[in-house]
Amino acid sequence: MGRKVYLDLGANVGDTIAHFAEWHPSHLIWGFEANPQIVRSLRKRFKGNPNVKIVHKAVWIAEGTITLFLGHPLSSTIVEGKVAMPQAPEFEIHYDKSVEVASLDFPKWLLRNFTLYDDVTIKMDIEGAEYAVLRRMIETKAIKLVDLLICEFHHNRFPSQATDHDRLLATLTERTRLIRWH
């Protein structure tokens, strides 16, 4: 058996990292967060834990720079077209408010850094970008490296990104253990 790894894609304030680190202290943990304001607090929060590394990049399907659209201080996305939710206006994205951030070709990064011998758990909450990232993980076979995928799907908020939502779920459940997180 190789390394035990937890990858938190869309780490936000780090609560899931903190819980996972408490329950699994031997795991190596990477938290990926695009929002610069949140990254500062994440790095401060986990400064004393040598098993936690915070990566300030947007999880995506290409290396480079990408526009991060902002809203509430804890809400952002790289995907245009988020549908408003009248019952939760505090989580709306303001598409006229953005910053440029580094992006990571996550499937390529996964294939470069891990093997089938590693025990890889991924928590993914990347606000609509999960569809493109997961499709690319399937295309590149990077999904084979994932033992457990805990994913929040945003098909109701990003209809244009989720045209084949059910088919994608079916493919994922054939290739890895999937938990739909809400």
The confidence score (pLDDT) of residue 158 equals 80
Q: 57-112 pLDDT, tens per residue?
A: 999 999 999 999 998 888 899 999 888 878 877 778 989 999 999 999 999 999 99
> Considering the chain, what is the average pLDDT of its residues?
94
Q: What is the DSSP string of the chain?
A: ---EEEEEES-TTSHHHHHHHHH-TTSEEEEE---HHHHHHHHHHTTT-TTEEEE-SEEESSSEEEEEEEESTT-EESSS-PPP-TT-GGG-EEEEEEEEEEEEEHHHHHHHH--TTSEEEEEE--TTTHHHHHHHHHHHTGGGG-SEEEE---TTT-GGG-TTHHHHHHHHHHHSEEEE--
Lowest mean pLDDT among 93-102, 135-144, 156-165: 156-165
The confidence score (pLDDT) of residue 114 equals 98
The confidence score (pLDDT) of residue 134 equals 97
Q: Could you tell me the pLDDT band of residue 51, with boundaries at 50, 70 and 90?
A: very high
Taking the model in full, what pTM does it have?
0.95
Of the chain, the end-to-end C-alpha distance in Å amounts to 31
Is 173 a residue whose pLDDT tops 90? yes
Closest CA to 1 of 141, 140, 174, 120: 120
Is 152 a residue whose pLDDT tops 90? yes
Q: Please state which CATH class domain 4-61+105-180 belongs to.
A: alpha beta
Closest CA to 54 of 14, 26, 21, 2: 14
